[in-house]
Structure 1
Amino acid sequence: MTAIANMHFTSPSRSISVVEGPILVASDGSAVSHEALFNAARLASSAFGGSIEVIGVCEPMPGVAAGMDVLPVPAEIDEARRASMVDDLHRSVNIAAAGDPSWPINVLVGSPPRTLAVEAERRGAALIVMGIGRHNPLDRLFGTETTLATLRESRVPVLAVGPNFPAAPSHAVVGLDFSVASIQAAHLALHLLAPGGKITLVHVRPRFEHPSADWQAWDADYGRTLPPLFEQIVAQLEVPAGIAVETITVRGDPAPALLAFAQQSNADLVAVGTQRHSLFERMVVGSVATRVLRTARVGVLAVPGRSDK
């Protein structure tokens, strides 16, 4: 059994496709980075062919404690808050240069992460575009954690962008572990690149080393297996003319190593796949995607793998 087989990597023989559904732009109307958010939606719409829809989710007001009872909040209050968010979203779309007043706007009441995930799957969305805050602790707390919570729930890829996300990325870095999800992440990232751009497929090898002969043999076998796998992935991606492709292998902890490479190479986008097979894994998503999304200073594309229910 080869080293790669021992790591349970997925054979890259499965066909790659892009869902031709709508691009859902998730916002509450109060973000300060709508230009980047709407530009990212236009980019995705052009790349994947789906129409753009703006969606907001108004979290219901909790009940009020009264002695031993909890008094429910009148439905009219939640409806008023929902209507206010609709107005905010219309205003955001109208004043943003990248916005379009003709985009459908819909605001629902519920838990934002769960509601976004359910709506995206119900509508057959190709992508959820969300903002991610990086300016102050409150941005990092509310913006990033909402995006993470949505990814935990979603079966649809999520593109998280900050205010400096370019209209079209020129360099995408993909964390490639040869799973179906990571290959799909590479494929989607490739579609988002500007003409003449570059995509770098980065595989992070284990940092652990041991002086034993067994370890040395395993590590050597591992290294020999990587080049043909890279070749298969590149061939499967069908890279358009004018797009440069490079493959890199580094050692270390996957998330920090991937982010360090992305920063050193001035990448605009980091793409990762996520694998969730159990209830516990669905809750935590996976340390690589979580740590990348929490600490990246560039756009992050997270593509969920198949999960068992």
Structure 2
Amino acid sequence: MSSPSQSFALAGGPVLVASDGTAVSHEALFNAGRLVSSAFGGPLEVIGVCEPMPGGAAGMDVLPVPAELDEARRANMLDDLRRSVNISAAGDPSWPITVLVGSPARTLAAEADRRGAALVVMGIGRHNPLDRLFGTETTLATLRESRVPVLAVGPSFPAVPTHAVVGLDFSVASVQAANLALHLLAPGGRLTLVHVRPRFEHPSADWQAWDVEYGRTLPPLFDQVTAQLDVPRGVTVDTVTVRGDPAPALLAYAQQANADLVAVGTQRHSLYERLVVGSVTTRVLRTARVGVLAVPATG
């Protein structure tokens, strides 16, 4: 049986590096694209999405924006991306560059699906509220729409990670996240499977018995997952169990372990759940100080 990571790699789809041409972290963004392209064999392509100008109000009517204006803005973004690729030490002028007009998140997700992309690489803002609004939130919105994995990186993301932490809830998506993360690690790297147990605070005998039984189930579950992993030669896999709320506990461990990458699996939820309830992935992406690999379940 082929592993989840092999199913992505064998697809040979392109790696899409998404940017608007103004990011200050192009070195990390392009390096991450090269890393994924090398690991999974797909060509690297740069893509930008120019959000259309809203129509202007004129009394009770809305005046449409002339098509020439959106085209001019699209052309400007294309020039910015070409310049970024040309001046970046990590860039390559031979990379195909495309700029589309539309809603960034929906357009990126749809384009990734149409092209059969292996993965989308995006920036993750951390320096100020505008970074978080226009960087991280666009990345989050894309992830919610996307059917392919998304790797979100900041300026400090290394050319090749040496330690990845995977949030393991034993779902198909989390195992796929582990398999993908394995192939992004440097030779001699380390992958840590981290399962977050529920915080146990109830004093009743029934709850204590349940907690003990829960603990007994974990070693065989870890064994089942590690048996499914396609571990590259020289990479070490270990397992850790912590207690607490999933996202904060996972990120606290990643920080303590000096990890370069946090990988999580995502599930398809209803619109209400996506907009209101929130998810572990959302909290991780909004607060992580390292790269985040988010992998939707494919089966």
| One of 104, 117, 131 as aligned partner of 2:123 | 131
Counterparts of residues 75-224 of structure 1 (less than 5 Å): 75-224=67-216
Shift of 1:239: 1.4
Counterparts of residues 275-286 of structure 1 (less than 5 Å): 275-283=267-275, 286=278
CA contact (8 A) 1:270 1:301 kept: yes
TM score, norm. by length of structure 2: 0.95
Between the aligned partners of 1:160 and 1:285, the Cα distance in structure 2 is: 22
Shift of 1:178: 0.4
Structure 2: tracts of 5 or more residues without a match? none
Pairwise CA RMSD: 1.5
How many percent of aligned residue pairs carry the same amino acid? 83
Letter in 2 for 1:211: P
Alpha-carbon deviations, 1:55-107, whole Å to 9, x = none?
00000000000111110000010001101111111111000011111111100
| One of 26, 29, 36 as aligned partner of 2:21 | 29
Counterparts in 2 of 1:15 and 1:47: CA distance versus 1, 3 Å? closer
Q: Secondary structure of 1:192's partner?
A: coil
CA contact (8 A) 2:192 2:238 kept: yes
Counterparts of residues 284-295 of structure 1 (less than 5 Å): 286-295=278-287
Between the aligned partners of 1:240 and 1:153, the Cα distance in structure 2 is: 31
Letter in 2 for 1:191: H
Alpha-carbon deviations, 1:271-303, whole Å to 9, x = none?
001112423234468421001000111000011
CA contact (8 A) 2:200 2:211 kept: no
Q: Secondary structure of 1:164's partner?
A: coil
Letter in 2 for 1:257: A
Alpha-carbon deviations, 1:203-229, whole Å to 9, x = none?
000003322222122111111111011
The answer on 1:302 being equivalent to 2:297 is: no
Between the aligned partners of 1:277 and 1:306, the Cα distance in structure 2 is: 14
Shift of 1:186: 0.4
Q: Residue in 2 aligned with 1:56?
A: 48
CA contact (8 A) 2:163 2:259 kept: yes
Letter in 1 for 2:83: R
Alpha-carbon deviations, 1:217-248, whole Å to 9, x = none?
21111111110111111111031221111100
Structure 1: tracts of 5 or more residues without a match? 1-12
Between the aligned partners of 1:93 and 1:81, the Cα distance in structure 2 is: 18
Counterparts of residues 207-246 of structure 1 (less than 5 Å): 207-246=199-238
